Every structure is written in C-alpha cells, then in structure tokens.
Structure 1
C-alpha cells in the first residue's frame, strides 16, 4: 500500500506498518491474536484464556515448544487448564486423560490396554508462535497460518530502544478499547494530571491516509502551534493500534511509540498488552522496577476504566446505533468514527461487534461467564503479571512476618522483668509494626484500583 498524504511532507513519518490492500470481508479466524507477554507465561503449568468466549489453553511440550489446544476435555468437558503438565503432555485432572501437542489423546487410565483410544477423543489444536516477546495464536486452520502479518515493531530490534510492557484484562468489549486508544483528544482531560494537562485540550487536526479491510492509517497533531509535529497512528485489524512520534534533528532525533495489542476474550471482556518504547531517557525505564512502573501504567488505564464501562452500559441500554447516540466532532472523534465505520464495512463476520450504524450481538448471553468487577487490579492484572504477582507475594509475606515479629516482641516485653529488654522489645515491636504497615500499603497497590477523589 502506498501512502498518499493529503498534506505536504512535514519530514515526519507517515507510516509505521504495512497494511495490505483488500476489499474482502474480514476473516477473523485467519489472523493472529496476542495472548500474553512471554515473560508472564507460566513455565510449568497450563495457561487458560479465551477468544470470543471460546476456551483455549497454552502449555509447553517436552521440547519447550508452545502448544495451544481447545480448553475442554472431550471426556466430560472439564477444563484442561485446571490440569497439569506431565512429560510434555497436558493432563485433565478429572480422570487423567492426557493430550499431546497436536491435540491427540495419548493416555486414558480407565481404558483397557487391549482397547484402542477412540479417534474422537482428540481436541482441536491451533498454531502458536512467539514474536518480539509476545505469544500469538491463530484460530483458523494451522496450515494457513502465515507469520508475516504479525505486527512487529522494527524499532524494538534496535539496541538504542528500550520498552516497558504491561498486560491487563479489562471489563469491556475490545471495540471500546480500540475506540479509546484511537482518541488522542481525551488524554488531556481524562488523564489530567498523570499523562495530560487540561490546559492543553484543543482542537486536533486529523487525517486518514489509508483505509482498507486490513486497517486504517492516519496522523494527528495539535492546532495551537503552527507546523506542529505529526503523530502517526495505525490500526491494523483486528487487534493492533500504534501511535508513533519523532522529534528533534535528523542527527539527534528522539522517537518512540505506544503500541497497544488486544484480544477479545469474550462479550464485555478483553485483554490488552501495552508497550511503551523510546530511544531517549532510556535510563529511567532501565532503573525502574517493572512492578513499580505498572502502578503508573495501571492508574492510567483505571482513569478511563469506569468511564468506558459506563459508556458501554449506556449504549446497550439505549439499544440505538452509535450514529444516533454519538455527537462526534471532526477535531476530536475523527479516528473513532472511522474505526466504527470500518466495523460497519468489514466486521459482519465477527462473532459480535458494535459499528457506527450496525451491530451484532452474540446469540446467547454469557451469564455463566460474567465480566470481572470494574475496579479489581488484583484479578485484572496482578495475578497475570509475573513481576507484580511475585512482588505481591513477597510483600504479603513481609507483612505477615513483621506482624508476627511485632507480636513476639510485644509478648517478650510483657513477660520479661528486665527494663532494658523491655525497652529493646517495645522499640523493636514498634519498628516491626511500621515495616508491616509500609508492606500493607504497598500490598494494596497490587490489589485495589485507582479511584478519582
């Protein structure tokens, strides 16, 4: 696809990723979906997730290769993700059926040795790959899986660039997440003062450079400063958005971006993988512990979270098309409307979606699989992030240990007759309580979401 900007060349990048041209209906199965960050994937146990409410499970075989299967035992429909890994095979913990990398059933303990394993005892397998630290699955036929369309970021392969990554489950549809991250106008209001500034809210100049069945490419900039730098934005269907910026001279340019991957876990649920990267002030990213950086990244997401949940609820209650509900501004909502119109044009094959003029809802409500609580950082992030989960467990143990030490020292102060020992014991007990209080405060940062005061 050749870009044909409507404005004269500004010297800023107008493309980040190739988007092939096609006028065909979008086939949601014949594409790659990001599941999790490789560093957050457990090494010794199954990893369950879902795609459009279809249960799937990841595990590593005896050669260390990732395997993806349907997360449902064909025997009695128990979840394989609740099982265990034995010699590179996944075992259902209900009756011990074991399955290999191709989904074939390899062992049934209750089956006589002279009886062949039934041919219909297998489970479906899916193609899975690792690329730039992200695990991707292909829900279509494995033979058709082509790794070339996976949206890679060339800058991440350059040594001068560093990045920080975050995984988070969100209690709203993937389309609302993509709408949100295609909306730069909200940042100065919704994220004041963490990431934006209310005084900088202004009309934006927005352009769509390309629009096809495989995505949208555009650019935007503020209007207050003449000849402001453009920020390029790409939506690569169905699950990737990237904002890319560059400023400074050619000899000493500073550049970076915000890459946002997402997967529709089900109706009203999605998972996002956020990646910030840049080639300047890299020391800050290198020196900040990942779990501490996630406090800030999670707060940014949580500043929007109740607003988007409420927005989705209102739209569902109204039962009207977004064309009737929204009052869009060209200097604010241009990319949002373009994305919703993309869903109108190409999204009819998706299991469910909310376009601008059209929509499609799942056949059955997912009452047995409700979305997580709106404000629940523990379940939506901490337990699925290896760094934060480890820090959370350590902090919890520290709190428990110092509480026990404080109690023991207090008891010693009561039981002893020595004034010196009493003084030392009381002082030590108070110090231990102080450490326990600090640990408790840190622990809550892994459990509770940010709320506006």
Structure 2
C-alpha cells in the first residue's frame, strides 16, 4: 500500500517555497551591534522638510531596530512562508461539527475535527472529481465529501468509496496514493489553531516552536480566559501588518470606539527604541559601577522588557510581549491616553504586540496575529489580556462594604471579563470596519504600482512611523517583498465597494459559531417580540371595540387593561427593533468617518 505522503510527490506536488534571507538575531549579537546607524529610507522629494524648511513633526533622530544590526544584515538563514506556523483560527469560535473552509497563502484548505477531538487540515479538494471538502460533512470522526460520499481519515487516507463494486475493488482504490488528500500539520495552543503551510515537512513542523509571547503563555498557565477575535479582511497581509504596528492612527480612525479613543486625545507621539533605551540604561549602570556609585543613578526603561539590550529587550530573558527566542525586528516605547508607558513591537512574520504599564505594576497586552490568506486577503486574530486578578462576586461585595469608591472600576472589569463573546466581537468588527475603507484602497494602489513603491510614495517624517518603516523593510529585505502565493491562487480583484469592505457576515460571522448562534437567537427574539406586540395590539383593539373610547377613558378595570396592552405592545416593538438591529449588526453596519462626530 503506497503511503499518503507519496501522493504529494506523484500527483499534485506543491510549488517549491521561495527561500529568502531571514534575520537570525541572537541577543548577544544584537547587544554587540548596538549603535549601528539606521539605513536611510529613500523618499521622493516633496513637502517642506525636503525643501529645507523646519517641521515640528519631523523625526529628530533615527531609531535603531534589530534589522539594522550586522547580524541581521548578514543573516542568510532562509525564510519560507510555507515552513512557518500561522495562526489561522480560534478554538472558541470555530464550529467543531462541520468542515471549515480556510485560505492560506492562496491554498484552499479545510479544517475539521476528527474522532479523537483533534483538529486536522487538508487540501480542500476531493481527489475524485475536485469537489470542495469544506462543503462536506464529518461522519464517525472522518471527513466525507458530499459529492459522492468518499471518506478520509485523520491522515488524509481514503477509507470509503461507496460506488466500488465490491470490497476488493474498494480496498484497491483506497490503497492508491492518488486517493489520498494532502494533509498539513496542525497544532492547538493558547486558544488558537496553528497550521504549518508545508505539507511535506511534519518533522520540521514538530520541532519548530510556536510564536506565542511569554505574557500570553503566563496568562494561559494562570487559567485566565483568553478570547480571540478572528476576521478575514479584504486587503493584503503587508497592509494589515502596516496598519496594526501604527498606534498613532487609533484616536483618529477609531474615534469614540472607546472613551480612551477620541480625536482630542491625539497629539505628539515620540517613539523611543527599546533597544536604545536598554543600551542607555546598561551604559548608565556600567558608568555608575565604574565610579563606585551604587545609588542615585538613573536609567530609562520601557514597559515590560527584561534587562539587557536589543529590540527584544535583550538579556537572557524575552520581554513579556514577545515569544522566547524570537526577537522583534522593532520595539518602540510610546505614550498614549491609556498609559504613559507603552511598547509596540513586531516579531516576524506575523505577531504585533502592544504592552501598557498600568497602576500597581499591572500590565495590559494586545496581541495581533496576521496571516496571508491570498492576494488582497488576510486573516487577523487578536486578543487582549492583563495581569490584574479576575474580579469575583465576593470582591464586589467586599468593596461595597469596605471601600465603595473602588466599586465602579471593579464593576467595569467584572463586566468586561464576563461580556458575551458575541458582543465583544461586534465591537471588534466595528474597529476593523473603521480601518478597512482606508486599507482596501491603499492595497489596490500598492498592487497597481508595485509593493515596493512605498519607498517613493510614502512620506514618513514622524517618529510614530518608525515601526511601519521597520516592518516594511523587513518584508522587502528579508521576506521577498511579500508572500509567494500558491500556483493558481485566486487573484486580487478590483477595489471592493464600501459594502463589500464592511461585509461582517462573509468576513466574520459565517466563520464564528458564537456569533452565528447569537444571531439566530436574536432573530428568534425579534420574531417573538413582534408576535407579542401584535397580540397585545389586537387585545387593545378588542377592548376599544367592546367598551369604546369613552368607556376606556372613564377608568376602571377596562382602562387599566387597555393601558397595560398599549404599554406592553410598545415595549415588545422596542425589543423587536433592538433585536433586529443586532441581527443586522452581524451582517453589515454602514460606517462613515465623516458622520462619526
């Protein structure tokens, strides 16, 4: 019997991955290379700064990133988009009872859960007549194609062909490598389904670590609930990365999304390289030690970074916002309305992290994973977490009795940690709606002019664009300028309409079991409320017909019944309208920045 792995080579061999240089940065190498000047960014002449006029927004000094070090520039370790773990779905919202379609690097894949409760990933194409397996079913722990009923086990081997004339013919057909469906390695960790995008390297996949930040590992180990939000976005992976490494856009693009995000809170946003901060702190400590001073020295440090230097915080330990052993190519400290001490970092190829210092030595994180779905399409997974203890009803009761002033923030934290997943997803959908109208057009322009045209078309005079620059430079110099999509990948289409850009149903709800279930429940609630309103209105009409308006106005029991019927009908109509609006919110909510005053 030919193994299923032979099927990959004999029948549908994948295109060889493009290998390009990848930064191999040890912390010691980064530390030794501290102080190397940043390579200049080529920009076209325009604007007052180029004409020699002063500008208050111009970056006063270039900041060093890990990409600038000799170790990074000389690194020749290959980077393969296929030989990488990608975060593709979250375990809490994916439907375990049906196959789930997935696009990754232009490959059409299917995620499904087998009889042992493990998630599997296969090519979304039945070897019989190329029908999509994502339109099939899971039966007895196996994946069944709904076209002719062929079934496949967890390893991708065909185990059932109903049309075979007898058992021997079926066994012969199933033994052929051509009856197999290609499989991809899968791991489940930190609430995420990870897919290794190369089907022929399971041992390499098994030995490769997942890019999970230290802080996230600590939260999971402590038992804190981690809630992810996932959406398939109508713009490319590089544009998504560029957007999420930029904290300066938050108070403008996301005006009034939360009380902390308003345009009036926008202002100067200096960026300080975490690497340089650590170097200065280390130099200050060395100077103090050399002069015999053990007190009174000052040092500058960023939130959440371990001791040492380098873009990853350096030293023997990783910063909490980054995965151990995977240094960011850029990490910058910046102030915001949320915290005067924040850090934003990009760890290639997919992780963007925000860390904020909170009162009482607490930390708040936002982690964002970006995966290339296909040309003009990307996958985002994002979550937040903090080191504050979870609020319990007992803590609320104690605060009420002993410290009433601490009750409001505790109530807010209690609400946030217990908010239904679908409600938090609606808020996240609004956040991405607010950015998408910009990013889809930007993506179309980059596609038309060339992905590297940013070097001449972008004007980047402000410090808060430093991580945008570092991210773009990594993509161009270390990652081939962008993903090598699978042969035959669906091409990037024309710029979508605003309605298509903000299509929550196609991009999120249809892939999220929690939101689909909530949407169905809200539809039932709306229908029942409308029915109740109709019944109460009919009762009111019956009372009017029986007693007439004068009789009801005279008071008494009939008048009370009429008032109750009228009030009940009004409440039921309000409930129906609210539930119907929530149903619509899972599909599409028009948004215009001009109207967001």
Partner of 1:11: none
Following TM superposition, by how much is the alpha carbon of 1:291 offset from its aligned partner in structure 2, in angstroms? 2.0
Matched, 1:244 2:334: no
Q: Give SS of 2:442's match.
A: helix
The separation in 1 between residues aligned to 2:424 and 2:336, in whole angstroms, is: 32
Partner of 1:277: 385
Q: Give SS of 1:40's match.
A: coil
Note the residue ranges of structure 1 that are not aligned, 5 or more in a row: 8-13, 354-359
Partner of 1:132: 190
Partner of 1:312: 443
Partner of 2:529: 402
Q: Is the 8 A contact 1:172 1:308 kept in 2?
A: yes
How many residues are paired up? 430
Partner of 2:140: 87
Partner of 2:206: 146
2:372 aligned to 255, 264, 282, which one? Answer: 264
Following TM superposition, by how much is the alpha carbon of 1:410 offset from its aligned partner in structure 2, in angstroms? 3.7
Q: Give SS of 2:456's match.
A: helix
Q: Is the 8 A contact 1:206 1:334 kept in 2?
A: no
Following TM superposition, by how much is the alpha carbon of 1:311 offset from its aligned partner in structure 2, in angstroms? 1.6
Partner of 1:356: none
Partner of 1:322: 454
Q: Is the 8 A contact 2:540 2:565 kept in 1?
A: yes
Pairing 1:97-176 to 2, within 5 Å after superposition: 97-113=150-166, 114-115=168-169, 116-117=172-173, 118-140=176-198, 141-146=201-206, 148-152=208-212, 153-159=216-222, 163-176=226-239
The separation in 2 between residues aligned to 1:192 and 1:206, in whole angstroms, is: 25
The separation in 2 between residues aligned to 1:62 and 1:159, in whole angstroms, is: 29
Deviations 1:123-174 (CA, angstroms, capped at 9, x unpaired): 1111111101111011222221136521222332353856442112211111
Note the residue ranges of structure 2 that are not aligned, 5 or more in a row: 1-25, 36-64, 276-309, 313-325, 389-409, 548-557
Matched, 1:77 2:209: no
The separation in 2 between residues aligned to 1:97 and 1:378, in whole angstroms, is: 30
Deviations 1:85-142 (CA, angstroms, capped at 9, x unpaired): 1111111111111111111111111122231113311111111111011110112222
Q: Give SS of 1:25's match.
A: strand
Q: Give SS of 1:436's match.
A: helix
Q: Is the 8 A contact 1:28 1:350 kept in 2?
A: no
Partner of 1:435: 575
Range with greater deviation from structure 2 (406-415 or 437-446): 406-415
Q: Is the 8 A contact 1:245 1:257 kept in 2?
A: yes
Matched, 1:255 2:363: yes
Distance 1:203 1:96, change over 3 A: same
Q: Could you say which structure has the higher helix fraction?
A: 2
TM-score, normalized by length of structure 1? 0.84
Pairing 1:1-16 to 2, within 5 Å after superposition: 1-2=26-27, 4=31
The separation in 2 between residues aligned to 1:295 and 1:279, in whole angstroms, is: 25
Distance 1:222 1:60, change over 3 A: closer
Q: Give SS of 1:62's match.
A: coil
2:504 aligned to 352, 377, 388, which one? Answer: 377
Q: Give SS of 1:48's match.
A: strand
The separation in 2 between residues aligned to 1:311 and 1:330, in whole angstroms, is: 19
The separation in 1 between residues aligned to 2:336 and 2:572, in whole angstroms, is: 55
Answer with 1 or 2: which has the greater Rg. 2
Distance 1:119 1:288, change over 3 A: closer
Distance 1:160 1:97, change over 3 A: closer
Partner of 1:297: 428
The separation in 2 between residues aligned to 1:378 and 1:133, in whole angstroms, is: 22
Following TM superposition, by how much is the alpha carbon of 1:341 offset from its aligned partner in structure 2, in angstroms? 1.0
Distance 1:119 1:159, change over 3 A: closer
Distance 1:147 1:294, change over 3 A: farther
Range with greater deviation from structure 2 (276-285 or 254-263): 276-285
Following TM superposition, by how much is the alpha carbon of 1:312 offset from its aligned partner in structure 2, in angstroms? 1.6
Q: Give SS of 2:211's match.
A: coil
Range with greater deviation from structure 2 (405-414 or 374-383): 405-414
Deviations 1:384-418 (CA, angstroms, capped at 9, x unpaired): 22332222111111111222233344445556754
Partner of 2:588: 448
Distance 1:444 1:349, change over 3 A: closer
Range with greater deviation from structure 2 (238-247 or 411-420): 411-420
Q: Is the 8 A contact 2:230 2:381 kept in 1?
A: yes
Q: Is the 8 A contact 1:26 1:214 kept in 2?
A: no
Q: Is the 8 A contact 2:191 2:226 kept in 1?
A: no
